[in-house]
Amino acid sequence: MEKDQKTKVNKDNNSAMLKVATFIVDRRNLFFLLIGIALIFCAISSKWVKVENDLAAYLPDTSETSRGLSLMDEQFITYGSAKLMVANITYEEADHICDEIESREDVTMVSFGDGSDHYNDFSALYEITFVYPEDDERCLKGLEEIKQSLEGYDIYVSTSMGDQAAEIIDQEMKVVSALVVVVVLSVLIFTSSTYAEVPVLLLTFGASAVLAAGTNFFLGTISFVSDSVTIVLQLALSVDYAIIFCNRYKEEHQSLDIREADIVALSKSIPEICSSSLTTVGGLIAMMFMQYGIGKDMAICLIKAIFFSLLSVFLFMPGLIMVFGKAMDKTRHKSFIPEISFVGRFDYFTRFIIPPAFVALVIAAFILSGKCPYVYGYSKIETPVKNETQIADEMIRSAFGDSNFVALVVPAGSYEKESQLMKRLEERDEVDRCQGLANTEAMDGYMLTDALSAREFSELFNVDYEVSELLYMAYAINDENYAKIINGFSGYRIPLLDIVMFLYDEVEEGYVTLDEDLTDTLKDANARMQMAKDQLQGEDYSRILVYLNLPEEGDETFAFLDEMHEIAGEYYDGSDNITVVGEPTSQYDLMKTFSRDNKVVSIVSILAVLAVLLFTFLSAGMPVLLIIVIQGAIWINFSFPTLQHTYLFFMGYLIVSSIQMGANIDYAIVISGRYTELRKIMDKKQAVVETLNFAFPTIITSGSMMVLSGVAIGRLSSDATICGIGQCLGRGTTISIILVMFVLPQILMVGEKIIERTSFEVSVPIKLDRGFGTVRVDGFVRGQINGTVVGEMHALVRGEVAAVVTMGSLQQIDPGADPETDAHHLISGEVSENED
């Protein structure tokens, strides 16, 4: 029990960790206040987080997609556009709807006709272009008004404007998070030994989740993947920390009161939990070496989340235990988790059968996982659920086919070269059509870049030839083309786009006066030409849209992208100034980064975890055996897409393999550590049975949470990236649990000699503690206490002690005092006034 009278800590005798633990427990109200303030701030600041929804934004700056997007943002204006399909209508109704949409002031163009590209099987497809740039809110407002005007019709809308996808993902993840809370609550109730520990664990998890989410704004911008799944993964990755501390407290509380048990448990849990977190962090660090920036983004978010999980367990949970301690005593119940001695006996009897079978399985899995059908876009992936946008895209694609295009960006300055390049590309079977200034119709059959003489211009706009000559002369002077003025205008031709825009500027500045009808015609022509120029011609570069008869991704598509560079290079002296931008290019770039990141993530995650395990077990053989099991689980996990002939989004492998290596290795550590300890006092069969009975509650608690969380994400998210991560995480954790329960014990039994022969000692300076008479000993002891003792102990010794005490303390007790009373004081960190 906590004493009413304040006492002092014996600084000379208590260990550093006990001092820290005592301070945290006794100053719990201070930590409640500080964490409460932080939680309020983070609850508010979580709304400030900026989220990036474009995966291409995380490509390396040197990638063609990144360079192309930057170039297009600088050189061109992209106007808001949308595809709108109206199903189950006649052509006459469809034509009427087209007129209504086209009459809107915020719409500059509606592409629609009686061809199969726009009317097919009683469905009409309208390609709407607004007068505002695509990031202008007025485009979304206009699109919403169009949808409202078509209320009653079966309509499907596809557009890249706005953050509709982000809103959908946000709604889906709220459902997933709510389901995960139910899952966690159910698992904790099932695996708990006292009902009151459940709110302690939930409050600890909740605090760490809010702190992690609220501090994301310090990172500036995070990816939608990190924003969506970090909280769920944080719970799955760090649930062990709170459970380890809670179990340690219940163990200490069997002989100590609430406060003392809380302090001792915390002092022992801090190094244990920190050590456990290192393997998880090691796996996540591997993601930071990815060339694809989303790996670093997720790694930072998750490592930060783990840090706040540790903070909550170390600073917040001890106070919660003090608050709920009495309730935990009153709500104890029989454990619902059964012993699994039969698994241990099975493992013992199959110790010579399972290991070779596992080796054969791992080799097969390695080969199959190498053939995993990775994809780099969403076009080939089927998610369990579909959102409104996906359904609309699917319906439009079903009725009118795919529309796959790229933007070919070339140096500006020659309409003739652009025209020749487009004709060359359109001759290829891989190209359906091209769209650029050189083949965009302006008026009366003339293209924007068609060069007109003064007479042709006068006939087109119905102006006097003399006026047309004067206009051409002014243009020549402005263009410093004095030779045309001297030699006459008979052969002087100017591109229609340039002369119309020049005339419009002259009229606006008052140098030329036209009648009202001609002025209206000129204004309309100039507006359309200006929009076309904004989208297709910049100050230094021109943009050509190339519509492909190829899928968005695949070897044939990627090969043709390289050919486009070669073809364009023939017209522009090499391909250094030529860029191809679009979904196919983005996926091509992702494929290139994946081939590198795949190797880097695998190697770094294994080395990071290996380094932690090496100094945890002081053996070179043990880490190798553990990593073989978990790496085998990873290969088996990613063999499933090959066997099922289903496509897997590449990020699922990069992220889940790191998490699986970093987090699931903890299960292997729990079993191997316990087995090694028990083998000193038991035979193999008894040791493996006791080990699995000991480890099963921990593994089933955290493992089931991770599995069910992954399944929830995989089944309820319509985004292919998030869905793939969830599916792979749930399946991979299930495989890891099976392997550490039914394969690892046999490997440990068979590999005992390897572990022994590869063990080593780390030489450290030895400080021998001595005590005489009545001595209190706490910690891991190696030395003589009326005989040789090696192990963890908490005892009073009457006699002589000469031993090395690590992670604990050796304290001399006043010979005249009552040993039992002094033992109580020493554990609780208290001494009486006359002992000061």
Looking at residue 54, its pLDDT comes to 81
Q: For tokens 């007068």, what's the residue?
A: 131
Q: What per-residue string of b and e applies to 692-729 under the rule 16 or more CB within 10 Å gives b?
A: bbbbbbbbbbbbbbbbbbbbbbbbbbbbbbbbbbbbbb
- Is residue 769's pLDDT more than 70? no
CA-angle at 778, arms to 775 and 781, nearest 5°: 95
pLDDT over 50 at 11, yes or no: no
Q: What value does the mean pLDDT take over residues 691-702?
A: 86
Query: What are the strands, taking DSSP E only, across 95-169?
Result: 107-111, 119-120, 123-133, 154-158
E strand or H helix at 792: strand 788-812
**Is residue 4 scored above 60 in pLDDT?**
no
Q: Is the per-residue pLDDT at 798 higher than 50?
A: yes
Mean pLDDT, residues 232-260 taken together: 83
Tell me how crowded residue 637 is: count the other CB atoms within 10 A of its CB.
27
Confidence of residue 428 (pLDDT cuts 50, 70, 90): very high
| Residue 768 burial (CB count, 10 A) | 13
**Cβ-contact 96, 132 below 8 angstroms:** no
pLDDT above 80 for 395:
yes
Mean pLDDT of the chain: 83
pLDDT at 762 (0 to 100)? 54
CB atoms within 10 A of CB 350: 16
The band of 381, judged by pLDDT with boundaries at 50, 70 and 90, is confident
Coil/strand/helix, residue 600: helix
Residue 76 token pair: 């061109």
Higher pLDDT, 803 or 504: 504
Q: Which of 123, 124, 187, 135 is nearest to 159 (CA)?
A: 135
Hey, which residues does 769 pair with through a beta bridge?
803
For 80-99, b/e burial (b = at least 16 CB within 10 A) is bbbbbbbbebeeeebeebbe
Nearest to 457 by CA among 502, 419, 397, 418: 502
Backbone φ and ψ for 14, nearest 5 degrees, come out as -70, 145
DSSP structure string for 664-733? HHHHHHHHHHHHHHHTTTS-HHHHHHHHHHHHHHHHHHHHHHHHHHHHHHHHH--SHHHHHHHHHHHHHH
pLDDT exceeds 80 at position 662: no
pLDDT at 819: 45
Question: Which token pair is 358?
Answer: 């596992």
pLDDT in tens, 580-624: 999 999 999 989 888 888 888 888 888 888 888 887 778 888 888
pLDDT band at 820 (very low <50, low <70, confident <90, very high): very low
386, 395 contact by CB (below 8 A): no
Q: Give the closest residue to 658 by CA, choosing from 397, 212, 371, 302.
A: 302
Note the pLDDT of residue 518. 85
Confidence class of residue 7 from pLDDT cuts 50, 70 and 90? very low
pLDDT recorded at residue 148: 92
Closest CA to 302 of 236, 346, 372, 363: 236
Q: Which of 406-410, 798-802, 830-834 has the highest mean pLDDT?
A: 406-410
> Which residues touch 697 (CB under 8 Å, ≥6 apart)?
191, 335, 337
Distance CA 545, CA 488 (A): 38
Choose among 344, 351, 359: nearest CA to 675.
344
Q: Is the pLDDT score of 110 beyond 80?
A: yes
Which residues make Cβ contacts (< 8 Å) with residue 164, sequence separation at least 6?
389
In this prediction, residue 731 carries a pLDDT of: 93
| DSSP one-letter code for 574 | S
Give the model confidence (pLDDT) of 521-544 as tens digits. 888 888 888 888 888 998 899 999
Token pair 């550093």 in the structure block, residue: 16
User: What average pLDDT does range 815-822 have in this prediction?
Assistant: 48
| Element holding 442 (H helix, E strand) | strand 441-443
Q: How far apart are CA 182 and CA 716, in angstroms?
A: 15
Distance CA 697, CA 630 (A): 20
Assess whether pLDDT exceeds 90 at residue 207: yes
486-518 tens-digit pLDDT: 566 667 888 898 888 988 888 888 887 778 888
Cβ proximity of 786 and 799 under 8 Å = yes
Residue 182 to residue 190: CA distance in whole angstroms = 12
pLDDT of residue 796: 60
Which pLDDT score, from 0 to 100, does residue 144 have?
Answer: 92
Q: Identify any residues that bridge with 802 across adjacent strands, giving them in sequence order.
A: 770, 784
Q: Is the pLDDT of residue 476 over 90?
A: no
* Average pLDDT of the segment spanning 259-275: 87
CA atoms of 783 and 137, how far apart (whole Å): 76
Give the Cα separation of 28 and 481 in Å (integer): 84
Instruction: Judge whether residue 77 has pLDDT over 70.
Output: yes
- Burial (CB count within 10 angstroms: exposed 0-12, middle 13-18, buried 19+), residue 797: buried
The tens digit of pLDDT for each residue in 156-186 reads 998 888 777 777 877 888 888 788 888 888 8
Question: Is residue 829 very low, low, confident or very high in pLDDT (cuts 50, 70, 90)?
Answer: very low
The amino acid at 190:
F
For residue 359, what are its two tokens? 């080796």
Share of the chain above pLDDT 90, in %: 32
User: Is residue 671 left, alpha or beta, with left meaning phi > 0 and alpha meaning psi from -120 to 50?
Assistant: alpha
Contact 372, 653 (CB under 8 A): yes
Whether 833 has a pLDDT exceeding 50, the answer reads: no
Q: Token digits for 19? A: 């001092």
Q: Please, which pLDDT band fits residue 800 given cuts at 50, 70 and 90?
A: low
Of residues 558, 571, 536, the one with CA closest to residue 72: 536
Would you list the DSSP string of 308-321? HHHHIIIIIHHHHH
According to DSSP, residue 759 is labeled B
182/686: higher pLDDT: 686
Examine the pLDDT at 643 and tell me if it is beyond 90. Answer: yes
Closest CA to 169 of 53, 297, 249, 315: 53
Q: What is the DSSP string of 325-371?
A: HHHHHHTB----SPP-HHHHHHHHHTTTTHHHHHHHHHHHHHHHHTT
Which one-letter amino acid corresponds to residue 822? Answer: D
Q: How far apart are CA 608 and CA 661, in angstroms?
A: 10
Q: Among 318-332, 367-381, 779-793, which is the least confidently predicted range?
A: 779-793
Which residue's entry shows tokens 């006068």? 458
Q: Which of 274-283, 566-575, 651-660, 774-783 has the lowest mean pLDDT?
A: 774-783
CA distance 113 to 126: 9
Q: Can you tell me the mean pLDDT for 199-210?
A: 91
The 10 Å Cβ neighbour count of residue 305 is: 26
719 vs 325, higher pLDDT: 325
This prediction has a pTM of 0.77
Residue 808's SS3 state is: strand
Confidence class for position 317, pLDDT limits 50, 70, 90: very high
User: What pLDDT does residue 489 have?
Assistant: 63
Average pLDDT of the residues in 660-679: 82
Is residue 751 over pLDDT 60? Answer: yes
CB of 287 closer than 8 Å to CB of 608: no
> Does position 391 have pLDDT exceeding 50, yes or no?
yes
Indicate if the alpha-carbon torsion angle 158, 164, 165, 171 is positive or negative. Answer: negative
Q: What are phi and psi of 476, to 5 degrees?
A: -65, -40
Is 33 in a helix, a strand, or coil?
A: helix
**Residue 169 near residue 720, CB atoms below 8 Å:** no
Tell me the C-alpha distance between 801 and 784, whole Å.
6
Q: What is the pLDDT of residue 835?
A: 35
Average pLDDT over residues 198-222: 90
pLDDT at 371: 92
Residue 36 has pLDDT above 90, yes or no: yes
Which H, E and C letters describe 456-480, residue by residue?
Answer: HHHHHHCCCHHHHHHHHHHHHHHCC
Phi then psi for 831, rounded to 5 degrees?
-140, 160
Would you call 261 helix, strand, or coil by DSSP? helix
Given this model, what pLDDT does residue 667 score? Answer: 82
Confidence at 680, pLDDT banded by 50, 70, 90:
confident
SS3 assignment, position 803: strand
Q: Are 518 and 500 in contact (CB under 8 A)?
A: no
